[in-house]
Chains A and B, each alone.
Chain A
Amino acid sequence: MKRNKVICFIFGVILFIFAVGAFQQVIYAMNVRENTDLQENYTDVYDFTQIDIAAKRAGYQGDFKSLVQMFLHNNDKGLFANLGNQVVTTIAQTCQSYRTMILQIVVMILFSAFLALFTPEINHKQVSELAQMTIGLSLTGVVLVVFIQETRQCVQILEQVKAVYLAVLPVFFSAVLVMTGEVSVAVYQEIIALCLQVVTIVFEKGFIRMNQAGLLLTMADSISDKPHFTKASKTLFWLIRYGCKAAFLVFSGLTGIKGMGAPLAEAVRKNVFFKALQAIPVIGDSAESITQVVTGGSAIARNGIGIAAISLMIITTVVPFMKMIVTAGIFRILAILAEPLTDKKVVNVLTTASTAIGLLAQIILTTVLLFMMFIVLICKMT
């Protein structure tokens, strides 16, 4: 446990350094733009239609090009303030929408406490078990309805994020291509394709199903007299948690290792090419300044597109993500309230529901962070 925290901390520091480096490059590229008098709308050459379509499906009504321009001209201050208001509104709306469910669960807890207190000693075990089975069945029904809704939402968000990312990649890589070369772009595309496969197969089809299985096993325990599946459900949740962390570490390592070599090799090749070009009379002197203009503009476009893509992913996922966190929090609070009043099985069901919904949120967070990490690392390494 302590070792994992240390590893996560070290990784967080490395990612932070890369992110700072990437932003420094944005500032550098913007300075180059000011000094070399580039056209105002360097991003005009890119086609953002597919990104707009994907973003609209994900719930973002704005225009991707204006988002890029907003970041390039430092006009993004209002964007995240609005997001903060939306998050607060979402938390309030989620609590409001689950009011009925909270009331149902509280009444079940009270009913369970009443039956536990007022059952006479003679048939205490038999009546208690019958009552717990009835309450367990009803609670299972309520919790499963909410969990299935959240699972569908999680799958929908993953699909939307993938669609936005797949729409952004061609535009992003066309800007990266100018900065590096085909080999680097191919290397990055290979890693990203692998990551998308992992998200589709492992996260969507694997982890989400394992999450469902873990919850169902706990529900089965709630209606039997003794717990039989506790270790099995805990193991499934453990696998999901560590699978998410492992995916993050593996892909960051892979991008770092594979991505460092190719851009360097291509930079050396380009250097050799331009040195040869400079030797040619008449055009030799102009070659370097033209290259600076083009690469400076491409750096602006690449970083602008990258930051806008990251912001788009954050904007489209933060509200449903917060809703999931709030739902998990509501179940956790209900478990805390139920603990002194009712049987351990009811508390176990509520705690497991909270864990399962929290893991859905973790899967979304890991996916978005993976995609963000690729953009940041590519911006840094090229």
Chain B
Amino acid sequence: MGIIRVVLLAMGTVCLGMLLKNTQSSFAMMVSFAVGILIFIWITKLMSEVLTQFQALQSYTTIPPKYIVLLLRVLGIAYLTQFTTDICRENGYTAVAGQVENFSKITIMLLSMPMVMNLLDMVLRCVS
């Protein structure tokens, strides 16, 4: 089962990291980074299956497809940001983590601007 594989890999990484931390701390950071990327790739494979199901359900909803694509892109940005900031904070780079967070917030805001403009158009049409 996938979850058992992930759990075993994560436990193994933690043990290895603890062993390497005192002697080769840079290797410990690289090991945790590599395992994090591997697990992230497995997550994206799982998410792609979930998204395929959602695309099938999308035909039943009135949300325009471009907005669903937008929301999923925003979700992807949020996951990437979470992963990156966790790695940075783990290694003590809090400032870098903070900047990555700010960047992702502004990116999400830029991506959502077309939706906000559409909303404004709708409100102006209702009022006029």
A84–B109 CA distance with the chains assembled, in angstroms: 56
A: residues with CB less than 8 A from B are: 100, 103-104, 107-108, 110-111, 114-115, 118-124, 126-127, 130-131, 133-135, 137-138, 141-142, 223
**Contact of B108 with A133 in the complex, beta carbons under 8 Å:** no
| Residues in A neighbouring B81, C-beta threshold 8 A | 120, 122-123
A120–B71 CA distance with the chains assembled, in angstroms: 13
Asked if A127 meets B63 with Cβ closer than 8 Å, knowing A107-B57, A133-B119, A223-B119, the reply is no
Closest A residue by C-beta to B58: A107
Closest CB of chain A to B64's CB: distance in Å? 8
Asked if A130 meets B108 with Cβ closer than 8 Å, knowing A119-B78, A123-B81, the reply is yes
Q: What sequence of 0s and 1s flags, for each residue 58-96 of chain B, a beta carbon within 8 Å of any chain A beta carbon?
A: 101111100110110011011101100100000000000
Asked if A115 meets B82 with Cβ closer than 8 Å, knowing A104-B62, A133-B115, the reply is no
**Contact of A135 with B63 in the complex, beta carbons under 8 Å:** yes
Counting chain B CB atoms within 10 Å of each CB, the highest count among A104, A110, A127 belongs to: A127
The one of A104, A121, A130, A141 that contacts B71, using a Cβ cutoff of 8 Å: A130
The 3 residue pairs across chains A and B that have the minimum distance between CB atoms: A120-B82, A138-B63, A123-B78
**Contact of A138 with B61 in the complex, beta carbons under 8 Å:** yes
A130–B109 CA distance with the chains assembled, in angstroms: 9
| Residues in A neighbouring B82, C-beta threshold 8 A | 120-123
Closest CB of chain A to B104's CB: distance in Å? 6
The one of B71, B79, B101, B122 that contacts A131, using a Cβ cutoff of 8 Å: B71
Counting chain A CB atoms within 10 Å of each CB, the highest count among B70, B74, B108, B115 belongs to: B74
A108–B61 CA distance with the chains assembled, in angstroms: 7
Not counting A111-B54, A123-B81, A126-B109, a sample of 5 additional A-B residue pairs whose C-beta atoms are within 8 angstroms of each other reads: A108-B62, A111-B61, A118-B75, A119-B78, A123-B105
A127–B57 CA distance with the chains assembled, in angstroms: 21
Q: What sequence of 0s and 1s flags, for each residue 86-124 of chain B, a beta carbon within 8 Å of any chain A beta carbon?
A: 000000000000000100110011001001000100100
**Contact of B75 with A127 in the complex, beta carbons under 8 Å:** yes
A306–B41 CA distance with the chains assembled, in angstroms: 78
**Contact of A137 with B119 in the complex, beta carbons under 8 Å:** yes
A124–B105 CA distance with the chains assembled, in angstroms: 10
The one of A111, A114, A127, A135 that contacts B74, using a Cβ cutoff of 8 Å: A127
Closest B residue by C-beta to A139: B62
Counting chain A CB atoms within 10 Å of each CB, the highest count among B63, B79, B81 belongs to: B63
| Residues in A neighbouring B104, C-beta threshold 8 A | 122-123
| Residues in B neighbouring A103, C-beta threshold 8 A | 60
Q: What sequence of 0s and 1s flags, for each residue 36-54 of chain B, a beta carbon within 8 Å of any chain A beta carbon?
A: 0000000000000000001
19 contacts between A and B (CB under 8 A): A100-B60, A104-B61, A107-B58, A108-B61, A115-B75, A120-B81, A122-B78, A122-B101, A123-B74, A123-B81, A123-B105, A123-B108, A126-B109, A131-B71, A133-B115, A133-B119, A135-B63, A141-B62, A223-B119
Asked if A126 meets B60 with Cβ closer than 8 Å, knowing A120-B82, A121-B82, A134-B115, the reply is no
| Residues in B neighbouring A104, C-beta threshold 8 A | 60-62
A118–B71 CA distance with the chains assembled, in angstroms: 12
| Residues in A neighbouring B71, C-beta threshold 8 A | 115, 130-131, 134
| Residues in B neighbouring A119, C-beta threshold 8 A | 75, 78
Closest B residue by C-beta to A120: B82
| Residues in B neighbouring A120, C-beta threshold 8 A | 78-79, 81-82
A107–B58 CA distance with the chains assembled, in angstroms: 8
| Residues in B neighbouring A100, C-beta threshold 8 A | 60
Closest CB of chain A to B101's CB: distance in Å? 6
Closest CB of chain B to A131's CB: distance in Å? 6
| Residues in A neighbouring B54, C-beta threshold 8 A | 111, 114
| Residues in A neighbouring B64, C-beta threshold 8 A | 138
Closest CB of chain B to A9's CB: distance in Å? 43
**Contact of A127 with B78 in the complex, beta carbons under 8 Å:** yes
A324–B78 CA distance with the chains assembled, in angstroms: 43
Closest A residue by C-beta to B104: A123
Asked if A126 meets B61 with Cβ closer than 8 Å, knowing A111-B54, A121-B82, A131-B71, the reply is no
